[in-house]
A = this chain, B = another copy of it.
């Protein structure tokens, strides 16, 4: 254990100096980068749309994975979350999933909440432990919190205005 730790500490510098090589493209990426909400959300919407459009056939995780172009385990995990939220029916051992209710009664907000991409009131993070001896520091969190919540709710309200049925209709419309 101790030997391994010592060897590790000796080797890591070799690793970092030898193999973390930066190309010109890397260097172009200056400054801070930015976030995106997990594609679990878009994949979740996709799965539900596909279940509808493939209603005649059997939508196994393998079948869905080929459409989404990912690994079946990724699909099963997301379907598990959709099931947990009461949006789909699946049973162990039995191939295929189905929507648990009519797609006109499932909004994008339902999917968004099901796949847990953003916690309530936590889309924006606020720096922790500001200085309580500072007038700004001891008030900034309480001041910013409601403003951030409102912005997040505005985004979520927008998602609540669209159903998965709308998505399916738009897909079919684009196809013709």
A14 lies within 8 A of B18 (CB): no
Interface status of A157 (Cβ within 8 A of chain B): yes
26 contacts between A and B (CB under 8 A): A4-B15, A5-B19, A8-B11, A8-B14, A32-B40, A32-B77, A34-B116, A34-B117, A36-B118, A36-B123, A36-B125, A39-B126, A42-B125, A42-B126, A45-B144, A49-B136, A53-B136, A67-B130, A67-B131, A68-B127, A69-B131, A69-B137, A139-B170, A139-B171, A139-B174, A154-B157
In the complex with contacts A42-B124, A43-B127, A117-B35, A49-B140 CB distance below 8 A: yes
Instruction: Tell yes or no: A7 within 8 A of B by CB.
Output: yes
Inter-chain CA distance A103–B14, complex, in Å, is 50
Give the contact-size bracket for chain A: 35 or more
Q: If A8-B11, A37-B125, A175-B135 touch, does A152 touch B155 (CB 8 Å cutoff)?
A: yes
Chain copies in the assembly? Answer: 2
Known contacts A45-B140, A139-B175, A143-B171; is-contact A34 B67 (Cβ 8 Å): no
Docked-complex contact B31 and A116, CB < 8 angstroms: yes
